[in-house]
């Protein structure tokens, strides 16, 4: 080809024009907000030289625009394409706030839809780097129809390919339903926001003054709403967290998660596990100490850490293989189940089941949180979500009862008759319809009222109840658990059990879908 010919010159001129769109002034403004540009984010996230851009030179549709103006920029405010993370294919779209505020018009939407459809066909994860002012007002209903197509594709791909949203700036109005429909949401403190209606609308309608951060900042969504699963202090660490997350998951629903060999082997027998759970059933402890002494070193990666901390949901590895962990946390609300923890646990379980990630449950739960607020807010319906998720999950499921396992909460937390494959208990376990104190108070109400020393009698009856009914050996002998195990050998026991379950196959009745109590 003649490099001085007019066609090649035109080719080079287009590339130069595309590059010139990212002016130094626009980049400076983005950096001044503590934000990276869309291309800088891609450079950090993807393996060097692996990104292949698609539709870089499309331009926005300006036909029929009567109000305002639309800039005739290449790419229409979103960068789309595919690349690799640790040599694994991913599809990606990154909204560019320096072009019309990253607003979504119909061409912008078509680029995203095309990327979604390619990801689904290739069986590859899709990542959305969201930094957008929302629907492009100038285009009216066309931009709204674009959002609808994006949402429809997310739902079509759900459970087939992992879909991850990374909020890198604003996500407002209808735009928030993209991350809400996806599998996990990453946010950055102080520079990313999500809300259906912004502070100005809140002020106008409700006459309430609220800042962007107070209304929909990362900390609000990580602690209160539960919308954000991971938050980091800056964009670079957010992206690095995303790369770490990808090391735990497969590329689609027919693959298994990648195996990563453990560098420093965790001991198969660990005496530290004998010292963590207190002898006094009313004393709290940190269940993370139990987990960290069982899983592969440096493999614990918690999701939704700040939301509903009375239950832990996390990824980890056992002998190099990814597992999903659900654990009651006795140091927060004594580990009780409530509305938020039930929904959090159910959502995590369903993700793991979608993507062939075995489930490991550490149980220490005194029951469901009582009270008018919980009952009136629907603890029955929300608690049933956790029950449904455990029962429906067909991946290998193992439970270790560390201490308390009472009543309905015993059933919900992957009990044997709910479909648990292997159910173990430590000698410290207490398995019963209710706690010894409550049971004695009901069963011996009359005797306690008539005795001269009710405190002494109650203590005697509580001990008797704990020894004869709540004792884990009773459950073991009746076959409701598979074995009471030595806590020190828990890791070895679990590795062996998961190996035995490696080829587990569950045939389910033909149906369109079940009706989870949403």
Q: Which of 167, 174, 292 is nearest to 222 (CA)?
A: 167
Closest by alpha carbon to 337, among 312, 305, 304, 357?
Answer: 312
Specify whether 222 is catalytic. Answer: no
Nearest to 338 by CA among 285, 234, 412, 442: 412
The string over 230-240, giving b where at least 16 C-beta atoms fall within 10 Å of a residue's C-beta and e elsewhere, is: bbbeebeebbe
Tokens of 224: 């209160």
Q: Which residues pair with 363 in a beta bridge?
A: 401
184 beta partners: 164
Q: Which of 174, 324, 345, 420 is catalytic?
A: 174
Tell me how long the chain is. 518
Q: Which of 81, 146, 173, 335 is catalytic?
A: 173
Cα distances from 300 to residues 152, 292, 293, 322, in angstroms, run: 34, 7, 10, 10
**Residues 6 or more apart in contact with residue 506 via CB below 8 angstroms:** 394
- Gap between the Cα atoms of 190 and 65, Å rounded: 35
What sections of 255-338 are H helices per DSSP? 287-292
Residue 228 annotated among the catalytic residues of the structure = no
Task: List the one residue out of 284, 487, 249, 221 whose CA is nearest residue 358.
Answer: 249
What are the tokens at 336?
């009780």
- Residue 63, classed as helix, strand or coil, is coil
Helices (H), 138-176: 141-157
From 80, 66, 77, select the one nearest 101 (Cα to Cα).
77
**C-beta of residue 448 within 8 angstroms of C-beta of residue 457:** yes
Active-site position among 172, 222, 316, 409:
409
Query: Which parts of 208-356 are beta strand (E)?
Result: 230-232, 301-303, 311-318, 321-328
368: Cβ–Cβ under 8 A, 6 or more apart, which residues? Answer: 336, 337, 338, 374, 379, 383, 407, 408, 409
Q: Is 403 exposed, middle or buried (0-12, 13-18, 19+ CB in 10 A)?
A: buried
The rounded distance, in Å, linking the Cα atoms of 209 and 211 is 7
Is 419 marked active-site?
Answer: no
Helices 235-246 and 38-45: crossing angle, nearest 10°? 40
Which of 123, 159, 408, 438 is the catalytic position? Answer: 408
Give the DSSP H or E segment for 94. strand 88-95
Catalytic residue list: 173-174, 408-409
């Amino acid at each position: 080809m003649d490099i001085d010919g007019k066609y090649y010159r035109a080719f080079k001129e287009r590339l130069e024009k595309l590059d010139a769109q990212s002016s130094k002034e626009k980049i400076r403004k983005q950096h001044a907000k503590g934000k990276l540009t869309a291309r800088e984010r891609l450079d950090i996230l993807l393996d060097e030289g692996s990104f292949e851009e698609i539709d870089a030179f499309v331009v926005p549709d300006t036909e029929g625009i009567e109000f305002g103006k639309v800039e005739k920029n290449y790419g229409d405010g979103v960068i789309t394409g595919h690349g690799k993370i640790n040599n694994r294919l991913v599809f990606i779209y990154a909204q560019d706030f320096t072009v019309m505020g990253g607003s979504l018009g119909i061409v912008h939407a078509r680029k995203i839809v095309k990327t979604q459809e390619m990801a689904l066909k290739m069986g590859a994860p899709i990542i959305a780097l969201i930094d957008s002012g929302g629907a492009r007002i100038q285009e009216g209903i066309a931009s709204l129809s674009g959002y609808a197509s994006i949402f429809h594709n997310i739902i079509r791909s759900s459970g087939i390919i992992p879909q991850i949203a990374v909020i890198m700036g604003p996500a407002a109005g209808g735009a928030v339903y993209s991350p809400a429909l996806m599998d996990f949401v990453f946010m950055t403190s102080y520079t990313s926001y999500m809300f259906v209606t912004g502070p100005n609308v809140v002020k106008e309608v409700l006459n309430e003054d609220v800042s962007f951060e107070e209304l929909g900042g990362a900390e609000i969504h990580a602690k209160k709403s539960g919308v954000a699963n991971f938050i980091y202090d800056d964009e670079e660490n957010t992206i690095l967290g995303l790369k770490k997350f990808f090391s735990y998951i497969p590329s689609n629903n027919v693959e298994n998660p990648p195996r990563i060999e453990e560098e420093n082997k965790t001991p198969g027998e660990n005496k530290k596990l004998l010292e963590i759970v207190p002898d006094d059933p009313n004393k709290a402890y940190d269940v993370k100490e139990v987990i960290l002494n069982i899983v592969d070193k440096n493999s614990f990666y918690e999701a939704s850490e700040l939301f509903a901390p009375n239950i832990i949901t996390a990824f980890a590895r056992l002998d190099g293989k990814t597992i999903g962990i659900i654990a009651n946390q006795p140091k927060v609300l004594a580990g009780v189940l409530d509305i938020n923890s039930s929904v959090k646990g159910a959502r995590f379980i369903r993700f793991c089941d979608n993507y062939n990630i075995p489930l490991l449950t550490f149980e220490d739960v005194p029951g469901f949180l009582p009270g008018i607020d919980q009952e009136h807010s629907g603890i029955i319906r929300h608690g049933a979500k956790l029950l449904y998720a455990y029962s429906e999950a067909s991946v290998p499921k193992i439970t270790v009862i560390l201490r308390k396992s009472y009543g309905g909460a015993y059933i919900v937390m992957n009990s044997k008759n709910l479909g648990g494959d292997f159910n173990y208990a430590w000698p410290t376990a207490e398995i019963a319809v209710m706690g010894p104190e409550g049971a004695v108070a009901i069963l011996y109400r009359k005797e306690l009222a008539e005795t001269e020393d009710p405190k002494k009698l109650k203590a005697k009856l509580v001990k008797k109840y704990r020894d004869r009914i709540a004792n884990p050996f009773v459950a073991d002998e009746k076959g409701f658990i598979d074995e009471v195990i030595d806590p020190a050998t828990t890791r070895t026991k679990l590795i062996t059990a998961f190996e035995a379950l490696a080829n587990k196959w569950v045939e389910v009745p033909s149906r369109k879908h079940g009706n989870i109590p949403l």
